[in-house]
Amino acid sequence: MESEGAQLIAMAIAAGLGVLGPGIGIGLIGGKAMEAIGRNPEASGKVVSNMILAIVFAEALGILALVVSFIIRFVG
């Protein structure tokens, strides 16, 4: 296998697996937040603000995986 082909495969694996975890995590965060709002609607403001903060942290990991995949492609 050529070096460029190996880089493309590594890039695809890094990007694919790197966004899989945050995607699942964001789904779980959203589901649990909706469950919490359903149980206690008065606390929806605090729940939503904490949910958005948790989603931002999870999405940062996905962006980091994307950056690593581009580093593999263009630097390696």
The DSSP string of 9-56 is HHHHHHHHHHHHHHHHHHHHHHHHHHHHHHH-GGGHHHHHHHHHHHHH
Tens digit of pLDDT at every position of the chain (76 positions): 788 898 999 999 999 999 999 999 999 999 999 999 999 999 999 999 999 999 999 999 999 999 999 999 888 6
pTM of structure: 0.81
Q: Distances in Å between the alpha carbon of 17 and those of 41, 61, 69?
A: 35, 11, 10
Domain that holds residue 9: 3-74
Query: What is the CATH number for 65?
Result: 1.20.20.10
When divided into structural domains, the chain yields a total of 1
